[in-house]
Chain A
Amino acid sequence: MTDTVTWLRDEPLLRVQNLVCQFKAPGGTVHAVSDITFDLLRGETLGLVGESGCGKSTTGRAILQLPPPTEGSVVFEDRELTGFGRGEMREVRRRLQMIFQDPISSLNPRRKVRDIVAEGLTIAGVDKERSARTVDAVLHDVGMDPEQVGDRRPHEFSGGQCQRIAIARAMAIEPSVLICDEPVASLDVSVQAQILNLLEDMKTRYGLSLIFISHDLAVVHNVSDRIAVMYLGKIVEIGQASAVYSSPAHPYTMTLLDAVPVPDPEVAPSERVLEGELPSPLRPPSGCRFRTRCPLAQQVCADLEPTLQPASDGHYVACHFPSQPLPELPLVTSGNGQSRDA
């Protein structure tokens, strides 16, 4: 069942194969990530998109072995990371950095910006003087004046500025891969644009590869070369950003695209909404995990799990009925399953 690796490419910088992340919880086992496979080439940005709880952050953290995955392999720069101890991972983190969701709480409130940005350098044993020069340069690169901000503490900054500080901290040690978990989720559109442009600049300046996590497909599409769409712990579609946008093949991708607000009053928002809630990851549905909310679901979807199959060049989808137009759905229905009339 897990031999669908045809889309893996040669000479990846990072390869994640058959990744499984489970957690023990009061009601049983949380199936947060269930057998996902993808790779990342040098200089590439991979967008991971899906709704809250689908396993995006868990995937990002599992790459860094925080905590290590339950099963599967993570190969970074030709080294298998699963099984690495703390010391080995500390060394790997000089090349593989992550900006965690919620920047404000990930910055130590008691430390000065200068020391926060220098954290990675200090751990790496870089001498004080060189470290100070690097911190100044990288703060400058993220659009902050080291003189003005260096001695201040995180609470004195806005969400967007904290995000810049977190990016500076990650970039200071010049990693080759940066995982950004929802870097713009809590920001205004204006600050979001600043941060998205900044990440693109960093990528160019530092020759960076990115894994970019977000629930917003418009944001992901703006920065990504490839997009992987996740639903309840599975990758349901993966391909070039332009292909996923112009010819989405999975019904879930279609609803995600449809949910993006369009800044044009001539485009009336469709009445189509994704019904219901994400099912509990304690008991994922049999077969296709999307079937409980899918307007195209048939019996086979409950009986047989769809595997990723080619949809077009370099573009794969896991669905028994791919590339079918979705029916126009009624508005939100009321509790007893009938729609209330006006």
Chain B
Amino acid sequence: MPATPLLDVTELDVRIGTPRGVVHAVNGVSLDLDRGETLGIVGESGSGKSMFVRALMGILPSGATLNGSVLFDGIDLTAVPVGQAREVWGRRIGMVFQDPMTSLNPVVRIGRQISESARIHLGLNRRRAEELEVELLGQVGIPEPERRRRDYPHQFSGGMRQRVTIAMALACEPDLLIADEATTALDVTVQKQILNLLQRIQRERNMAMILVSHDLGVVAGRTDRIAVMYAGRVVERAPTPLLFERRRHRYTDALLGAIPRLDHPPHARLRSISGTPPDMATLGSGCAFAPRCPAADDRCRTEDPPSASESAVAPQPTGSAVSEVSAESLEASESAGGHVYHCFHPVAASVPTAPRAADTSEVPG
């Protein structure tokens, strides 16, 4: 029963004019998301994650142009009058950023900042606004909310500021919460507090959530589906368990191999990815990962790898043929929560989640 998803993004492009040329920050990204669902978006710095989520929120940098459609609850935010889109952005989508100070005003009491959007969009009076401030501060785990709502941002630690921005994002009871690297700048202990908090709130409110991170470890146990981005494209996407167990794209595999794991012995050599992501102002044809990919051949360097899909149900035998699929069958597999990737020489299906210990345990020297 294909009900309309809460969010349905089709062929989204974001181009940014710069002195160096046009940066192709997002290239033909299609994704959807239902209420109550959590999507992880993963990729290295510069892969277009932020530009993608900013496009959803209508906060692209000046000089950016957008193509494609963003349907939110059936409303095309790229086509409706901007006033109508602002209603959606202000009330129905909340966003949390990496640096809490980008959303906090240092000279305004935090309570006021938390309730501001609700005063504007829901017309709360002062008493109700104050009640909301206390309630939200409590929900995000700030002790003594009645007192602390009168404090200024500098009176809070980094982790507490991030809790405050989460409270801000929740004020209008959004249907979708986007956390863009919201824990990247925090200690692992505080990161876990914040991630657990986001997850609990998402469940309690049955919101849709997008967790953006450069670390597959952060999204592993906390998402229903994951999209891996590279050079502005989604190169692989799948339900979370499949993305780990049966990852096919070489880049996904490389990202996973780069994570230091506690269950490997000390001095286990990490599988690092050589080089850096490409310059998105001078992207040529072919697979953008080819210059860094150990499996790249001439075809990878010249042709765009097409969409291939993996059945979400039947496990594939190792090394099964890649099926190049038609648009219709692709759509079918998508609606089945399918597994789609773009790679000419995918890694064998059914690889262990942990990168092979054999080639990681070599000690230099």
Q: Could you tell me which A residues sit within 8 Å of B by CB distance?
A: 51-52, 158, 160, 186, 188-194, 196-197, 200-201, 203-204, 215-219, 221-225, 241-242, 245, 255-269, 271, 273-274, 276-278, 331-336, 340, 342
Contact = CB atoms under 8 A, between A and B. Distances in A.
Interface of B: 44-45, 137-139, 141-145, 148, 157-160, 185, 187-193, 195-197, 200, 203-204, 214-218, 220-222, 240-241, 244, 254-262, 264-274, 276, 353-354, 363-365
11 contacts: A189-B214, A221-B262, A259-B189, A261-B215, A262-B220, A264-B220, A264-B244, A269-B221, A274-B193, A332-B141, A335-B144
B353 A201 contact: no
A335 B258 contact: no
A332 B200 contact: yes
Contacts of B215: 189, 261, 263
A32 B195 CA distance: 29
Nearest to B183: A261
B261 A335 contact: no
Ordered nearest first, which 3 A-B pairs have the shortest CB separation?
A204-B365, A261-B217, A193-B272
B268 A222 contact: yes
Given A265-B244, A331-B196, A223 B187 contact: no
B299 to A, nearest CB: 24
Contacts of B269: 197, 200
A334 B158 contact: no
A245 B262 contact: yes
Given A218-B259, A261-B192, A263-B256, 9 more contacts: A51-B190, A193-B259, A197-B270, A256-B189, A259-B191, A262-B262, A265-B220, A332-B197, A342-B200
B196 A273 contact: yes
Please classify the interface of chain A as helix (H, G, I), strand (E, B), loop, or mixed, using the class held by over half of its residues. Answer: loop
Contact of A222 (B189, B190, B216, B267): B267
Contact of B272 (A52, A197, A264): A197
Given A204-B364, A225-B266, A277 B159 contact: yes
B241 A265 contact: yes
A264 B261 CA distance: 10
Contacts of B267: 200, 222-223
B261 A215 contact: no
Nearest to B268: A222
Nearest to B223: A265
Contacts of A331: 196-197, 200
B229 to A, nearest CB: 13
Contacts of A52: 158, 187, 190
A254 B259 CA distance: 20
B221 A268 contact: yes
A215 B141 contact: no
Given A218-B262, A263-B217, A335-B138, A193 B273 contact: yes
Contacts of B244: 263-265
B221 A267 contact: yes
A263 B261 contact: yes
Contacts of A216: 188
A56 B20 CA distance: 41
Nearest to B242: A265
